[in-house]
Structure 1
Amino acid sequence: MTLRRETFLDHVRERGEYDTAEEADRVCRVVLGLLGAHLVGTDRAELAARLPEAYALILLNPLQAAEPLSPERFVRATAAWIEGASQATAAWDVSAVLSVAADAAGDDLTRRILLQLPAGYDLLFGRPQSP
């Protein structure tokens, strides 16, 4: 089931404690654009199908990553794209967006997405894995 843009943004805004929908939207665009560069195939398409159209398009049309980023480098890249962001605020931003995306995706798809990513992304998605 696809979430409406307003619903998705409301969830991100609540988790990220953003003052405005515009702030939440900006963070969503950056994080999902970076995530899309790391996912391939049917998992990326299936996640896109569960996101609001504007975010699905960002996820499906990313710049391709030269190499998979570790979670730490993903957070640093996010910080570089968000004006005034620090690594701490970027980690917060990434977790706000990815945890809402994981809720939209459901457990099975989120597990498959995590298999495509380097170790450690489970925490960013708000789905810590047991050792």
Structure 2
Amino acid sequence: MAITQDEFLTQVQERGQYTTTSEAERVTRAVLAALGAHLVGAERKELADRLPAPRRPLLLDPLPATTPLSPPDFVETVALLIEGATPDTARWDTSAVLSTLADQIHEDLLRRILTQLPPGYALLFGRAELA
């Protein structure tokens, strides 16, 4: 069963140490939209199914990216989606959302997601890099 929207945002807010739920909402929207462009197939759908229903379109609706992004380039993309963000704050935001997301899924799904992404993403999901 998927986590509720309030539970998900509360966890992101706590991890990101945001002062408001709206701040957690803002970064969650940006990170999920960026991630959705880089996942395909069954993993994208399975991951979306683990999200609160209002968050699923953020992952499923973006058009697929034409080229895979390295983790630093992904963080820069997130920075462009969040008003006033810098690469440092966007890395923090990305990790707050992706580590919360990683806690909601089975390790097998996380492993399959990470195989779709270039090396280095495991750290953004709050995990050690898988060999």
CA contact (8 A) 2:122 2:130 kept: no
What percent identity do the matched residue pairs reach?
56
Q: Secondary structure at the match of 2:103?
A: helix
For 2:28, the equivalent position in structure 1 comes to 28
Cα RMSD of the aligned pairs, angstroms, is: 0.9
1:106 Cα deviation after fit: 2.1
For 1:42, the equivalent position in structure 2 comes to 42
Cα distance in 2 for residues equivalent to 1:63 and 1:99: 23
CA contact (8 A) 2:36 2:61 kept: yes
Q: How many residue pairs end up in the alignment?
A: 131
Write out per-residue CA displacement over residues 7-43 of structure 1, whole angstroms, 9 at most, x where no aligned residue.
Answer: 0000000000011111101101110001000000110
1:2 Cα deviation after fit: 0.4
Per the normalisation by structure 1, the TM-score is: 0.97
For 1:59, the equivalent position in structure 2 comes to 59
1:105 Cα deviation after fit: 1.4
For 1:75, the equivalent position in structure 2 comes to 75
Matched, 1:113 2:100: no
1:83 Cα deviation after fit: 0.8
Equivalent runs, 1:80-99 vs 2, <5 Å: 80-99=80-99
Cα distance in 2 for residues equivalent to 1:36 and 1:79: 16
1:129 Cα deviation after fit: 2.2
Question: Which portions of structure 1, spanning 4 or more consecutive aligned residues, are displaced by more than 4 angstroms?
Answer: none
- Structure 2 unaligned segments of length 5 or more: list them: none
Cα distance in 2 for residues equivalent to 1:112 and 1:81: 26
1:130 Cα deviation after fit: 5.2
